[in-house]
Structure 1
């Protein structure tokens, strides 16, 4: 038997497709059961800025009795890059035209990648990743080279994590299409570099914002009847507020589960497994970090006027002490 659990949208149509494997017997009998349950969040994907105290969220037990027990965490650091160099050129050679004789063009985008420490990274192009039949573009393919110009990784529109050594790298993205104007419009295509956070950051849920500001106990698990709604406050972790590891515009990505784990259920015990969550690193936090690192040293040289004033003050003090 096989059990799968996933999120569905009540405003759409759910289509179930069954296909027989080529190595199966001539005829197959199967039985399918479909169950709807779980907590429905007001926002299926939530996010907020690091300079905000947190985020208010609400969930509803729409089709069954559920136990609310939010569990949220951040596990990925996302850094965004723009290309340092771009070009659109006609494709030459045997593959220069499509079957309908339309000429092909290639967009080349170069990105500078700085890997501070050896580790893994996933390179994503959100605007065009995971598009195949829906895409108006042709092939997409990128290569990554190290400082010596050696290729160390490559991938397409379905990227996987790559292991990188410490140091500078160069990524070149190639996009092919018969539409040169479309490629010209993509010369500033954004690249997202996703790296795992060294230690997962937990996000605590409270009954309200006031409880979070006072540091009260976290929200307790609560049973919700069908149709009942409950709100709670997700507080920005101190590890996000205080860290200087990330730059303004970066994002910390994670997930949140709303329902309590139930081992008596088949498949995912959370129904569904998780929803996406993100915290954006604000410019205000970055500016505060810069001020702290460029503060005036205590031993800074004084101006001549300040030195004279100090000398006069010391002289007056000695006169008073002599009396």
Structure 2
């Protein structure tokens, strides 16, 4: 072998060292240019086509123009592997600037399947050189589906079991026998949108595993690919459904797994049947714009009778903003900072990108899925009649139905104005999809719904607002004293007074307390509101909330004492005896008035529990500042214990919401192990991201116990859990 190679090199040393670049383009077209010819679709196989082939010699970079390129000339004899299919000229005179010739490909008389041919060039003066270049020609002629309903089947495809081949050499290893692949090419009928396939196997005795793969190549689109892995433990039949595009060739590949049937001598026989289905609609994308009007959909069966059973759900995603490459990440409840980093060598392009819109997509939970309703008449959504469930589509006849927008009360609470609910619309019903949970049609159409504004706010000028205010005061004066002796419906004046009171409290809660002047003004307003609405629990709870939200308190005892005073006022405003009596009895869930009272009582209980909880934390902070222990001050200890026992009457003190007070109590009494256990449960079991205060409390507990190695470990992790700044971008 090496001697023959050496002889070839010796003969070749006097010839020009060139390579041959081949460019092929169909006659009459300017693009695209390819290296060979590939005919895949049925339309390309129904007539002969002419192709222009350009052959250009490529010299090495250091080649001399006068000595090598100018005198270059080769007489090439062209050969075709099958003159009946591919016709080419006999000879080609090739010079340094290249030459173009035409070939004709006639696939009209070929049978279905894969065909391969070549046109190659031989040097007339040195035929021993072999083919100088080759032009590959691949033809996949699909099988036409002419019967109705459109059905195609491939019977008795044999697959041998896995075995081992012959030994390569005495000292080598055995090579496993790889099962062959059965390929079929089908011309998908126009109007088909999905396929229902059935695969039957028989003739084997052990479990067999198969790969089933389909591919359609569509112009200017990604290939439509579907694949499945199927295991047959015994001779049986299995069904599949997958989407297709009409008018494009579909390649079907069936292969047995290489180790399938190991040790068996039985051959597996496969029958594969394909039935094409299709329902055409006048809208490929349905957008519900937020109005109450339904959307009209026209459906038509183009191939055979189909059962029209529309089903649509808005359960894919919710997005109010988004980007072009979404990637899903599961985030626990909390606040996050999203950073976007763009780089470019031209600052002007970056300046244009400062106002980019960010799209956020979120999957809805199963409980938030919104099924849509269908009607046969346009007034069906308003009148509530004419529900459309299913119908049989006759080929060539259209059927119309209307999609009703979802009810406002079924929208997820997290959907704000302008959000878009995106889902899928399924039309056809699979022939084998029966039972409680039938398989959905593989073909769907996108449907979206724009969440409309819940209320229309009309801006008013200042004079108009002043007149409205005077009118409201007039109504209050007229209705005072009316309906006050009984528990009847509140008068207009009473309702307006409550609205004004709630508005004042809302504005009061939004005031800032960054400076001393702000705190002074806030304190005056708080005293004024307490005088105007004495012992009103929501107001006292808002005052307590504002005190707790203050920043830069510096651990001052005066601040915590002010907090305790506000908590005492909030606790005293609640009738605990009445609250206890109410929760000792069960209320009637069908009584609307009783449910309303229950909701108010639960709110009062939560406000009482929050006040007691914050009071306990404030007492513990005062003890920590003064350096007092559990037995250091009887009065302070008694206050903490009394508050703790009162809180335990109303809530579960070991829950994640109130567990901190339980940890502090166990720590005060020296039960550090119990405190650490409860704290760890709070950190790991809480649905929200762990707070920094919990980890700081854990560090202090570890220091009190004396576990310095664990304390050092946790302190190092604090830099990872709670970094002082954002990471470098």
Say which SS state the counterpart of residue 364 (structure 2) adopts: strand
**Cα contact 1:50–1:240 (8 A) shared by 2:** no
1:38 aligns with 2:273: no
TM-score, normalisation: structure 2 = 0.27
Q: After superposition, what is the alpha-carbon deviation per residue over 1:273-314, rounded to whole angstroms, capped at 9, x for unaligned?
A: 4222110113xx3443x68xxxxxxxx975698379949xx9
Say which SS state the counterpart of residue 219 (structure 1) adopts: coil
Q: Which residue of 2 aligns with 1:196?
A: 364
Say which SS state the counterpart of residue 58 (structure 1) adopts: strand
Q: Distance in 1 between matches of 2:417 and 2:424?
A: 21
| Aligned pairs (5 A) from 1:244-323 | 245-263=414-432, 270-282=440-452, 285-288=453-456, 302=470, 306=474, 310=478
Q: Distance in 2 between matches of 1:15 and 1:179?
A: 46
**Cα contact 1:201–1:239 (8 A) shared by 2:** no
**Cα contact 2:377–2:386 (8 A) shared by 1:** no
Say which SS state the counterpart of residue 382 (structure 2) adopts: helix
Q: Distance in 2 between matches of 1:206 and 1:308?
A: 49
Equivalent of residue 291 in structure 2, options 26, 39, 51: 51
| Aligned pairs (5 A) from 1:58-97 | 58-81=298-321
1:163 aligns with 2:330: yes
Name the one with the larger helix percent: 2
Say which SS state the counterpart of residue 226 (structure 1) adopts: coil
Per the alignment, do residues 308 and 224 of structure 1 end up closer, same or farther by CA in structure 2, a change over 3 Å counting? closer
Q: Which fold has the larger relative contact order, with Cα–Cα distance below 8 Å and residues 6 or more apart in sequence?
A: 1
Per the alignment, do residues 309 and 199 of structure 1 end up closer, same or farther by CA in structure 2, a change over 3 Å counting? closer
Say which SS state the counterpart of residue 172 (structure 1) adopts: coil
**Cα contact 1:262–1:269 (8 A) shared by 2:** no
Name the one with the larger strand percent: 1
**Cα contact 1:78–1:253 (8 A) shared by 2:** yes
1:196 Cα deviation after fit: 0.8
Q: After superposition, what is the alpha-carbon deviation per residue over 1:193-216, rounded to whole angstroms, capped at 9, x for unaligned?
A: 223154211111000212232101
Q: Distance in 2 between matches of 1:230 and 1:308?
A: 60
Say which SS state the counterpart of residue 47 (structure 1) adopts: strand
Q: After superposition, what is the alpha-carbon deviation per residue over 1:158-186, rounded to whole angstroms, capped at 9, x for unaligned?
A: x23x2212121122234566777666554
**Cα contact 1:77–1:196 (8 A) shared by 2:** yes
- Higher-Rg structure is 2
Q: Which residue of 2 aligns with 1:16?
A: 251
**Cα contact 2:315–2:369 (8 A) shared by 1:** yes
Per the alignment, do residues 6 and 167 of structure 1 end up closer, same or farther by CA in structure 2, a change over 3 Å counting? same
Q: After superposition, what is the alpha-carbon deviation per residue over 1:131-190, rounded to whole angstroms, capped at 9, x for unaligned?
A: xxxxxxxxxxxxxxxxxxxxxxxxxx6x23x22121211222345667776665544143
Q: Distance in 2 between matches of 1:304 and 1:278?
A: 43
Tell me the C-alpha RMSD between the 2 structures.
Answer: 4.2
**Cα contact 2:307–2:391 (8 A) shared by 1:** yes
Q: After superposition, what is the alpha-carbon deviation per residue over 1:55-101, rounded to whole angstroms, capped at 9, x for unaligned?
A: 111111111210111111111452334xxxxxxxxxxxxxxxxxxxx
Q: After superposition, what is the alpha-carbon deviation per residue over 1:99-129, rounded to whole angstroms, capped at 9, x for unaligned?
A: xxxxxxxxxxxxxxxxxxxxxxxxx52x3x2
Equivalent of residue 235 in structure 1, options 386, 391, 404: 404
Q: Distance in 2 between matches of 1:40 and 1:304?
A: 60
Q: Distance in 2 between matches of 1:14 and 1:180?
A: 48
Equivalent of residue 220 in structure 1, options 389, 392, 405: 389
Q: Distance in 2 between matches of 1:176 and 1:22?
A: 47
**Cα contact 2:370–2:410 (8 A) shared by 1:** no
| Aligned pairs (5 A) from 1:172-187 | 172-174=339-341, 185-187=352-354
**Cα contact 2:374–2:401 (8 A) shared by 1:** yes
1:39 Cα deviation after fit: 1.4
Per the alignment, do residues 167 and 60 of structure 1 end up closer, same or farther by CA in structure 2, a change over 3 Å counting? same
Per the alignment, do residues 245 and 192 of structure 1 end up closer, same or farther by CA in structure 2, a change over 3 Å counting? closer
1:233 Cα deviation after fit: 0.5
Per the alignment, do residues 64 and 271 of structure 1 end up closer, same or farther by CA in structure 2, a change over 3 Å counting? farther
**Cα contact 2:292–2:405 (8 A) shared by 1:** yes
The total of aligned residue pairs comes to: 223
Unaligned residue ranges in structure 1 (runs of 5+): 82-123, 130-156, 292-299, 315-323
1:251 Cα deviation after fit: 0.6
1:6 Cα deviation after fit: 3.8
Per the alignment, do residues 277 and 14 of structure 1 end up closer, same or farther by CA in structure 2, a change over 3 Å counting? farther
Q: Distance in 2 between matches of 1:304 and 1:206?
A: 46
Per the alignment, do residues 17 and 185 of structure 1 end up closer, same or farther by CA in structure 2, a change over 3 Å counting? farther
Per the alignment, do residues 277 and 240 of structure 1 end up closer, same or farther by CA in structure 2, a change over 3 Å counting? farther
Per the alignment, do residues 166 and 309 of structure 1 end up closer, same or farther by CA in structure 2, a change over 3 Å counting? closer
